[in-house]
Amino acid sequence: MSEDQPILNPTQVRELMGDDEALIREFVDVALTEVEELAARCVEAAKGGDLAQAGLSAHAVKGAAANLGGERLRALAHRAEQACKAGQAECVSLASGLPGEAAALRQAAHEQGWCGP
């Protein structure tokens, strides 16, 4: 994970959803909720040794984060997915970082006025 990457790239959201603020808020709310649930599922699966399920959840986080412009979360989810697939021990620590990064993404979206804290 690179600290140079933005937590949130608002341009990506606008590129996908246009300038309709209500639609953006609806999308961000749905996407963030999914990202948080998937991140939690990924951690649980990784800690339980179910790396296949952890990899699938990390993959889903990656896709949803990409749509949200959550570049740091996307990059972390990608690394977690690869580690799960490769059966690497660091997959647990990478997965464990996902909820925190998801929270950071929510905070950044909140600052854009797109969702609650």
Partner 1 sequence: MVRAVSEQRAPARALVVDDLASNRLVAKRCLSELGVEVSEAAEGAAALEALSARPFDLVLLDLEMPGMGGEETLRAIRANPALRDLPVLIVSAHDDVERIAACLEAGADDYLTKPFNASVLRARASASIERKRLRDRERRTLEELAAQREHAAQLLLNVLPASVAARLQRGERTIVDRVDSATVLYAELSDPPFGAREQSSEGAVGLLNELFSLFDDLAAARGVERIKTFSDAYIAVGGAPEARDDHACAVADLALDMQRGAAGLLARRTRPTSVRIGISSGPVIAGVVGATRFSYDVWGEPVRTATFLARHGVAGAVQVSGRTRELLESTHLLEERGSFYVQGAGEVRTHLLSGAL
Residue choice 8, 39, 45, 64 for contact with partner 1 (CB under 8 A): 64
Q: Which is nearer to partner 1, 62 or 106 (CB)?
A: 62
DSSP annotation of 8 reads -
Query: Which residues touch 84 (CB under 8 Å, ≥6 apart)?
Result: 46, 51, 52, 54, 55, 58, 91, 95
Residue choice 39, 43, 56, 76 for contact with partner 1 (CB under 8 A): 56
Angle at 39 between CA 76 and CA 49, to 5 degrees: 90
Determine contact, residues 84/46, Cβ cutoff 8 Å: yes
Please count the CA atoms within 13 angstroms of the CA of 59 that sit on its side-chain side.
Answer: 9
Site for partner 1 contains 10 (CB under 8 A): no
Query: Which residues touch 68 (CB under 8 Å, ≥6 apart)?
Result: 8, 12, 13, 28, 31, 32, 35, 105, 109
Shortest separation between residue 97's beta carbon and partner 1, angstroms: 18
Site for partner 1 contains 42 (CB under 8 A): no
Site for partner 1 contains 27 (CB under 8 A): yes
Site for partner 1 contains 50 (CB under 8 A): no
Q: Which is nearer to partner 1, 61 or 89 (CB)?
A: 61
Site for partner 1 contains 34 (CB under 8 A): yes
76-105 footprint of partner 1 as x/- string (CB under 8 A): ------------------------------
